[in-house]
Amino acid sequence: MTDQQKESLRQVLAEYQPDEFHHGDFVGADAEAHEIVRAAYPSIRIVLHPPVKKTLRAFCQGDELRPARGYIARNRELVRTCDMLVAAPKSMEDQQMSGTWAVIRYARIRAVATVVLNPEADGTGVELASDKAASRHEKGNVLVRGIVLEPGESSSWHTDSCHRITVILSGDRLAIEFRESGEIRQFDVRAGQVDWEKPTTEVHRAINVGRARYEEIVVFFLSEPGQDPQPKAM
């Protein structure tokens, strides 16, 4: 981690005061974070999720050691285990070949609150990435996600990368706003409504413009396991 990331991590720890700290027992950021937590907050319980390959394992001394797994399985277990993910990438730009960014993308798919530590000294210390969505089921190429918007709330700006079925559980009126054109389409919705929707590259967001809470269940048909069905727009 850069000095900026280490300082940002200390700020996150001071603000959130976690009871547990999980990491992947890897040399570099994992080992550095381990030392920071141990030194500043010795009462925090540290849980290690080591990789099967020992080449770059840090062999930190934690309070609990989980079974070793392959990199992808280990990283996904970390995301499923945590309430908040703290990541320290080398760049704030999403890198397709980066293991760290792969974990960040998976956390966003599962709607886990994610703190991304900026490596630049003159940049924003942290970026909190969360959403109004929560994953309920994921198996193979199928992801089921629940989305809730209170009156006046909106989703993040995003595109849709796969086909999906939407089942509306509650709500009365919704709007879709398109970022590039500024167009806003409003329409009535009702509980029990089912829609088949196709992918789109247009950046847009949903806004609850009604008086009732809007809730829907969405079944995404992914092109491949782990795909982000609604990539956030920068």
CA distances from 225 to 15, 110, 176, 230 (A): 34, 13, 28, 14
For residue 173, pLDDT beyond 80: yes
pLDDT for 110-146, tens place per residue?
667 788 888 886 655 555 555 556 656 778 899 998 8
Give the three-state DSSP class for 81: helix
Q: pTM here?
A: 0.56
Instruction: Give the integer Cα–Cα distance in Å for 24 and 33.
Output: 11
Give 3-129's CATH code, choosing from 3.40.1110.10, 3.40.50.450, 3.40.50.300, 3.40.50.1820: 3.40.50.450
Where along the chain do its domains lie? 3-129, 133-221
Average pLDDT over residues 166-186: 94
CATH of region 133-221 = 2.60.120.10
